[in-house]
Copies of this chain bind each other. A is one copy, B any other.
Amino acid sequence: MAPVFASLHDAVAELIHDGDTVAMEGFTHLIPHAAGHEVIRQGRTDLTLIRMTPDIIYDQLIGAGAARKLVFSWGGNPGVGSLHRLRDAVEHGWPRPLELAEYSHAMMASAYVAGASALPFGVLRAGAGTSLPEQNPALQSVICPFTGESLTAVKAHRPDVTVIHAQRADRTGNVQLWGIVGIQKEAVYCAQRSLVTVEEIVDELAPMPGAVVLPAVTVTMIALAPGGAHPSYAQGYYRRDNAFYLAWDATSRSRESFGAWLRGVRAGS
């Protein structure tokens, strides 16, 4: 039916459970950071986290010990350098070991599209000759029945929950996002459940050039979270906080300074 409107706290409590497979998407733009913080605050654990670019949002969740496994294609701090918490988990098993399932961007996109289409796999022409299929059993090959060509088959993503941030929703639960729309539609559509945090809830969604509308029937819950994409940005609302990304390099570099950041988030409301 129509999505349920709830507080961010209640929506996360309702939709995200320990051990779930969770995708939080947003390609640089509209990253659902507020939801990520709420997952940390509620102490979720053993999550399998899916995301093309783990970015700061997953560095935080990984550092907080929320993740058992990471499914991803590029794990850096864009334009800055390493994700230190991700590296610490992989290189030293701190705060816990992190299993990896590693793809390329196009493979991740294809896995989301396949999931959104209720197909068991997607097909693409990349990855042959690389080490990726050796490490990831979700990458196999498939033969074209017409040409005999061997292509890469990637297993569909079907997360338990997808979380995204959008500019706005109307009161019946239609969601609108615009600007760089990335993989969010497919991430929501391939999931069993979905949570959309929004900058605002409006009476009517004025049509916007380049906007994607997720019809209400495709969304499970909506939570108002103004500023919820910070330090990433929400086009039309606020700009990317590049200083935060740069500062995160120092904050996240040591377990101690990250711990201080984490205590702050946990103390937050």
- Nearest-neighbour CB distance to chain B for A146, whole angstroms, equals 5
Interface flags for A92-131 (1: CB within 8 Å of B; 0: not) read 0000000000000000000000000011110111000000
A208, CB-defined interface residue at 8 Å: yes
Range class of the A interface residue count: 20 to 34
| A interface secondary structure, majority | loop
* Contact in complex: A145, B153 (CB < 8 Å): yes
- In angstroms, Cα B155 to Cα A196, docked, is 37
- In angstroms, Cα B208 to Cα A140, docked, is 41
In the complex, what residues of B have CB within 8 A of residue A236's CB? none
Q: Oligomeric state, in number of copies?
A: 2
In the complex, what residues of B have CB within 8 A of residue A141's CB? 145
A209, CB-defined interface residue at 8 Å: yes
* Contact in complex: A120, B140 (CB < 8 Å): no
Q: A121-B147, A142-B142 are in contact. List 16 more A-B contacts (CB 8 A).
A: A118-B125, A119-B125, A120-B146, A120-B149, A120-B151, A121-B123, A121-B145, A121-B146, A140-B145, A141-B145, A144-B153, A146-B153, A146-B155, A207-B209, A209-B211, A210-B211
- In angstroms, Cα B118 to Cα A124, docked, is 9
- In angstroms, Cα B210 to Cα A48, docked, is 35
- In angstroms, Cα B208 to Cα A65, docked, is 45
Q: Which residue of B lies closest to A137 (CB)?
A: B146
Q: Which residue of B lies closest to A142 (CB)?
A: B145
- In angstroms, Cα B149 to Cα A208, docked, is 41
- Nearest-neighbour CB distance to chain B for A134, whole angstroms, equals 16
Central interface residue in A121, A124, A151, by most chain B CB within 10 Å: A121
In the complex, what residues of B have CB within 8 A of residue A120's CB? 144, 146-147, 149, 151
- Nearest-neighbour CB distance to chain B for A99, whole angstroms, equals 19
- CB < 8 Å: which of B144, B147, B155, B209 contacts A209? B209
Interface flags for A64-108 (1: CB within 8 Å of B; 0: not) read 000000000000000000000000000000000000000000000
In the complex, what residues of B have CB within 8 A of residue A211's CB? 209-210
In the complex, what residues of B have CB within 8 A of residue A138's CB? 146
* Contact in complex: A146, B151 (CB < 8 Å): no
